[in-house]
Amino acid sequence: MNSGPYAGMFRMKLIAGLQYRAAAWAGMATQLFWGGINLLVFSAFYQSAGIEAGGGPMAFEQLADLIWMRQAFLALVMLWSMDSEILEMIAGGNVSYELCRPCTLYTFWFFRILALRISRTLLRCAPIFIIAFLLPEPWRFHLPAGGAAALFFVPSLVLAALLVTALSMFTCVLTFLSLSPYGARIFIGTLGEFLMGALIPIPFMPPAMRRVVEFLPFRYTADFPFRLYSGHIAGNEALTGLGLQFCWTLVLVALGFLCFRLIQRRIVIQGG
């Protein structure tokens, strides 16, 4: 397979995404605000429940790291962060031009969405980490829990970026079927946000619900890598989780590729 068109698209979208600096600063301010609100809510919960800062489902310092990581990497891991142009092309019929390209549509869009996520994240994550690091204890962002945590976190974050992009491709699949870009995006984005622990951290969920959520691939986009960083997941559990994260990425990429192949045989272009 010739990688030229895919590398070219990735580079082009990455450079284009880095131009939106004003939007990045506005998004960064919003994410800092929501990070602070989340910490205040959980601080009140810990105090009302009589939980010590180092107790509960997570130590408050680990929870602070989880929240700040989620805010810093929001554009990378959230499923509602999507390339709207692709969805509008599908719904409007301009996808026909994409089908004329001498390359695999799934791979071409995969690299396009991945580049968009990375560019948005690069503009925001460093300032958020710096500001969060300067906050007082226990609200501040901390360095990795140890050498092993840092070592495991890097490949886990790379796999999380690939996995969330593979999940995002199913938004395109649903848009092909429904011709409604907003419905598919809202459905997958809302479902994914809950299942990845963005609304309620997975350690705080009831045991039965937690067992179901931990089986699904969504937790490996945000919950797993961020808890690796904080040290809440370590040892054999970390190694097993990395293996499962890798397997889910392969499975979802293969399944998405197959869905695209099937849909392209039955595609209907609106207006023609």
Please tell me the predicted confidence (pLDDT) of residue 98: 79
Please tell me the predicted confidence (pLDDT) of residue 68: 94
Please tell me the predicted confidence (pLDDT) of residue 270: 57
Please tell me the predicted confidence (pLDDT) of residue 218: 93
At 174, list the tokens. Answer: 């649903």
Please tell me the predicted confidence (pLDDT) of residue 2: 58
Please tell me the predicted confidence (pLDDT) of residue 54: 61
Please tell me the predicted confidence (pLDDT) of residue 84: 82
**CA distances to 18, 19, 271 from 210, in Å:** 37, 40, 46
Please tell me the predicted confidence (pLDDT) of residue 24: 75
Residue ranges of the chain with per-residue pLDDT less than 50? 272
Phi, psi of 176 (to 5 degrees): -60, -40
Please tell me the predicted confidence (pLDDT) of residue 217: 93
- What global pTM score does this model have? 0.90
Digit-coded pLDDT (tens) for 133-188: 999 888 999 988 888 888 999 999 999 999 999 999 998 888 888 877 788 888 88
62-65-70 Cα angle (round to 5): 130
DSSP secondary structure letters along 57-114: SS-HHHHHHHHHHHHHTHHHH-TT---HHHHHHHHHSTHHHHHTSSS-HHHHHHHHHH
